[in-house]
Amino acid sequence: MVRIQAVLLSALLLLTACTGTASGTPQLNGTSWIVSSIAGTATVTDQQPTLAFADGRVSGSTGCNTVSGAYTQNGDGVTFSPMAVTQMACPEPVMSQETAFLAALNKVARANGDTTTVRLLGASGDPLLTLTTPPVPSPTPLAATTWSLESIIEGTTASSLVAGTSVTLTVDSDAGSYSGKACNNFGGDVTVAGDSITFGVAHSTKMACPADELAQENSVLSILPHLTTWVVAGNTLTLTAPGGTLRFVAS
């Protein structure tokens, strides 16, 4: 009897060890991910959705539009609020991917995984989204590119740029500075460490600008000092703060 109990205990421990990784509970706060599959279907290469979690807020991209909202995690239970989404049109299959991605987010009830892969599941355990860690960021693509702003998220409000305007950003991580142009030229100090980024307060010229263009510029400059993380996926740069997100594409 003692031997049987020992064998059963060993089998139970082995089963636990084998299943522990698959059923682990990931902590989402402070993490950034690329969505590698939706309901088992691989996402579009170079236009994969992204998600970044910080202090109860989630932001990212559908591969076309920028999204932002709130999330709640309690143990392995995870739910998302309705997302604020910009309204740009993109070619297929990216638009179909966006529809499937947003529908999947609405159904998420649980999460399991580890520090490299997270599976977001429905209430019955059906796989909805597979998240994988983005490639280790290198300063080269960030620093060697002029980025053009595509969308702005402040709180739950997502917006595209004012028609006929542009906002550009260049980061020189080696020199510790950034520069850009909206209606006015602006720039300041920047620190990049891994996927973390810190922008100093921007100094800008004082040209007169149309009211809507100036409001857009002020939104960008007010978000910059609060940005904390960056990720490059394909030709897209996403800069994330607890209360706002800036999404750029390579010029």
Looking at 108-210, list the stretches that DSSP marks H as alpha helix, in order from N- to C-terminal side.
Answer: 139-143
Tens of pLDDT, residues 97-154? 999 999 999 999 999 999 999 999 999 999 999 999 987 654 457 887 999 999 888 7
91 class by beta-carbon count within 10 Å (0-12 exposed, 13-18 middle, 19+ buried): exposed
Has residue 5 got a pLDDT over 50? no
Nearest to 26 by CA among 116, 112, 133, 125: 112
| Residues 67/61, Cβ–Cβ less than 8 Å | yes
Helix or strand (DSSP H, E) at 74: strand 66-74
User: What domains appear along the chain, each with residue ranges and CATH number?
Assistant: 32-132 (2.40.128.270), 139-250 (2.40.128.270)
Q: What percent of the chain has pLDDT over 90?
A: 67
Residue 80: per-residue pLDDT: 97
Nearest to 169 by CA among 183, 186, 152: 186
Collapse the DSSP code of 12 into the 3-class scheme (helix H, G, I; strand E, B; otherwise coil) and give the result: helix
150 class by beta-carbon count within 10 Å (0-12 exposed, 13-18 middle, 19+ buried): buried
Looking at the chain, list the stretches that DSSP marks H as alpha helix, in order from N- to C-terminal side.
Answer: 2-19, 94-107, 139-143, 211-223
pTM of the model: 0.58
Per-residue 3-state assignment (H helix, E strand, C coil) for 187-206: EEEEEEECCEEEECCCEECC
- Higher pLDDT pick, 241 / 146: 146
Tokens found for residue 238: 């996403």
CA distance to 14, 136, 153, 191, 221, per residue, from 201 (Å): 55, 27, 19, 12, 8
| Residues 194/31, Cβ–Cβ less than 8 Å | no
